[in-house]
Structure 1
Amino acid sequence: MSDRALHSLEQAIPLPYWLDAEGPAPGFSRQVGELHCELAIVGGGFCGLWTALLARQRHPQARIVLVEAQACGGAASGRNGGFCAPSISHGVSNTLKRWPAEAETLIRLGRQNLDELEQDVQRLGLAAEFQRQGKLSVASSPWQVEGLRSLEEKYRRLGIACEYLEGSALKERFDSPLYGAGLFESNYALLNPAKMARELRRACLQQGIEIYEHSPVRALQQHPGHLLLKTDYGSIQAERVALATNVFTDLLPRHKSAIIPIYDYALTTEPLSDEQLRSIAWRGHYGIADSGNQFHYLRKTADQRILWGGYDAVYPFASRLDEGLTQRPQTFVRLAEQFQQTFPQLADVRFSHAWGGIIDSSARTTMFTGSHAGGRIAYALGFTGQGVSASRFAAATVLDLLDGQHTERTALRMLNRTPVPFPPEPLRYASISLAQRGLAEEDRSGRRNLLLKTLDAFGVGFDS
């Protein structure tokens, strides 16, 4: 634990940068008393808010109610890196490996979803700092370089624009002594996740959607002809219910073993000068990620900070959900040390914010959807760190299910097949720990061990 790293964290605020920068959440209403509606949505993150807006397009006269346990966008949706991918299936390599029969369809739909998301940003006037300037993946070891070359070949075969970079060509885009190769893809976006959540909320209210916050749903009951949601201060009687609760699966007990909480962590620097950013040759507003299993993701903010996150992906025993676990000093110190090794030019930079959030991870690293109660309840789960853009696609699929529509979305095997469940404790914790150790060893040696190869054969993975 270096003194320089500790010094760089002395003034880091233990809050998500995005939420702190946006200031206090807007005024809210609690759900009080009894109300009736055609559609009730549980969860005020990206998935729930998109569900509400897309439902309004389909059903202009319906009474739509969204209920959120805390503040809209206060959990995973407001804490992530804001990477907005042209994928609904965790990237091209994951798609080809896990879903070869429908890979081309998934890739096409992912690119189409990002196009439509950008159109919605423009149509709704969402001031979310949306920028579609690309992503640079970088490699630090021979096996990672080989992986980038393989990905380049896949991109070329699928018609995805990309540019392989080495030596001086890479240093013109990103100058770090750790990385010797990169692959730049232009069709990738970034946004401010907290602003996006607040703007989606604003758009919902403008379109007559009722939003009730700080109103946790304690029970979901099925009755002939209607569904009943019970909150702390009242109840909601609905014809149909969409569940967009991320890792909080109390209302979906049958799926508790299908996803696990993974705690992910990030830092932001103090605002940097143009000269400091020039010293690392990072001029554009594209995102960057390295190619390790334990990978880092980084991006610039509008006020010229660097957000630096990832690497540690922490599973708590018994899938514990606890806000206290979003602060992990040993991870923050590790991230600070790694930042200083990556950017010796910026070794004296201090960090302004240090925080964590929970990723709802499925064993196949992709989301899934489904319905029950005769199609009156539908859900989306398991975004595995890719929900900024995929949540919109999931919302449309949930509405297809609730409307009883058979569409290209609902026919996708990736979405309508429940992932392999995680085993019960203590086997769950032990198996995840073994998989993580195997991934760390592969980062060092470039060799994949027998356990990871076996998991690959069964379509099971561990990612964030």
Structure 2
Amino acid sequence: MPAPRTPGFVNGGVSFWYREPGLPEPGPRLDGDVRADVVIVGAGYTGLWTAYHLKRADPALRVVVLESEFAGFGASGRNGGWLSGELPGSPERYARTHGREAAVAFQRAMFATVDEVLATLDAEGIDADAVKGGQLGVARNPAQAARLARFVEESRAWGWGESDLRLLDPAEREGRLRVAGAVAAAWTPHCARVQPAKLARGLAGAVRRLGVEVYERTPVTAIRPSRGRTAAAALTPYGTAWGDAVLRTTEGFTARLPGLRREWLPMNSSMIVTEPLPAEVWDEIGWAGRELLGDAAHYYMYAQRTADDRIAFGGRGRPYLYGSRVDDRGRTAAWTVDALWSLLTGMFPAVAAYRADHAWSGVLGVPRDWCATVGLDRATGLGWAGGYTGNGVSTTNLAARTLRDLVLGRDTELTALPWTGRRVRRWEPEPLRWLGVHSMYTLYRRADAQEAAGSGRTSPLARLADLITGH
């Protein structure tokens, strides 16, 4: 059934998060060559946080940020607003190269990052509608419930104590949030809701106040390593930015840079938001704690209750465009809007009497082994951070503080984390990666359907999907 839409329904337009504050007027573009200590390519969360922490650590540094559109145009202005303490990848894979203790240290650093971001927002006076209500993960059939219980049990080996993650009894589950068909739930306090565009705009303002030069409407066409006495460089149509370090923080847009089309796969994620919901709906649903909501499906969803009492609800739509193309204007296919609405109203039947008010999409960066990475090659002057696989709102801050320490030559607990300097093989050439990604999500959808029909155990189709893509 088609999703009912408000008369003012918007499809695309970057994202709903810009409806209230409005799209920012892009700042000046680069006008000629510039020489800096650090050049940052990309003004999303990673680039902005990196500029912020570098200037706070050493105000004398000349830091230049180059952005093709405006700060927060990409995933930083379109995501689900989950400031989460989850790892950006598999702890087992990080432990495989650096040991279990290093993976546990990484997890504890992620927990601390949630509070680090909230403290910085307070210190800088950035109003991003932040509420630390934790995260609720629900299961809606026996197979999902078994998987959720297994995840909680296995997490104990990776730094999650009882106070960090626990299963809820039915009474507490219903007291927090009433999801139709829920049979189990787990809760962690290590998550906060934010309004993504307000966070991006606030960070952009903070770095400018610190003296960072942010050049917008300045697409980088290539990044070159240092050669002999020649510094590393970021090339644009309007001039070249030279730096002792050039840091690539382009996440889902990385594939646009020459030679990097297969580095990280640009994975699409889509969202819808309801019109504001009245008090009687919230009385039926609950959600007074403003928890972030996810589920234990393979083709998973994510949601938040917004500051103006809407439900922002996301999931995978058209997951990948052939050739790593990026549809950067955010327009979402009608069938994706309808599918998200069907899932939303299935979880919250009381919402079915209301309408969708906005739909949008964005891309996130996925490395071949689904684990994020950060690093700096001193021989070339080139650094990077990204591949957050959908956990970037908080992880960008930890990556930025790690890049700060690497640039400044510091040997710290952050630079010792197991994602530092991590390299993985590239994605396969086309058509193999298109076939692999679309096969994976087709199998996940069918696995969810099997489990919903009452199989009681994780579908073999999901295991096959994991095997195909290394998820």
* TM-score, with length taken from structure 1: 0.91
Structure 1's consecutive aligned runs of 4 or more residues displaced over 6 angstroms after TM superposition are none
Q: CA shift at 1:287, angstroms? A: 0.7
Q: CA shift at 1:364, angstroms? A: 2.6
Q: CA shift at 1:302, angstroms? A: 0.9
SS class of match (2:109): helix
Check the 8 A contact 2:318/2:336 in 1, yes or no: no
SS class of match (1:13): strand
Give identity over the alignment, percent: 28
Change (3 A) 1:372 1:253: farther
Q: After superposition, where does 1:65-76 map in structure 2 within 5 Å?
A: 65-76=64-75
SS class of match (2:293): strand
Check the 8 A contact 1:134/1:189 in 2, yes or no: yes
Unaligned runs of 5+ in 1: none
Change (3 A) 1:369 1:324: same
Q: CA shift at 1:282, angstroms? A: 1.9
- 2:91 maps to 95
Q: Distance in 1 between matches of 2:342 and 2:78?
A: 22
Check the 8 A contact 1:260/1:319 in 2, yes or no: yes
Change (3 A) 1:247 1:434: same
Change (3 A) 1:287 1:130: same
Check the 8 A contact 1:268/1:353 in 2, yes or no: yes
- 1:118 maps to 118
Which residue of the other structure, out of 186, 197, 205, is the alignment partner of 1:183? 186
Which residue of the other structure, out of 328, 331, 339, is the alignment partner of 2:333? 328
Q: CA shift at 1:334, angstroms? A: 1.0
Root mean square deviation of aligned Cα:
2.4
Which residue of the other structure, out of 287, 296, 305, is the alignment partner of 2:292? 287
- 2:161 maps to 159
Check the 8 A contact 1:128/1:196 in 2, yes or no: yes
Change (3 A) 1:450 1:173: closer
- 2:213 maps to 210
Check the 8 A contact 1:378/1:401 in 2, yes or no: no
Q: Distance in 1 between matches of 2:105 and 2:117?
A: 18
- 2:397 maps to 392
Which residue of the other structure, out of 6, 13, 19, is the alignment partner of 2:10? 13
Change (3 A) 1:255 1:24: closer
Q: Distance in 1 between matches of 2:114 and 2:154?
A: 20
Aligned length: 454
Check the 8 A contact 1:375/1:404 in 2, yes or no: no
- 2:306 maps to 301
Q: CA shift at 1:184, angstroms? A: 1.5
Q: CA shift at 1:149, angstroms? A: 1.7
Unaligned runs of 5+ in 2: 452-456
Q: Which moved more, 1:182-191 or 1:254-263?
A: 254-263
Check the 8 A contact 1:365/1:384 in 2, yes or no: yes
- 1:80 maps to 79
Check the 8 A contact 1:219/1:251 in 2, yes or no: no
* 1:86 maps to amino acid: G
Q: CA shift at 1:363, angstroms? A: 2.7
Check the 8 A contact 2:26/2:69 in 1, yes or no: no
Check the 8 A contact 2:439/2:465 in 1, yes or no: no
Q: Distance in 2 between matches of 1:450 and 1:355?
A: 29
Check the 8 A contact 1:166/1:180 in 2, yes or no: no
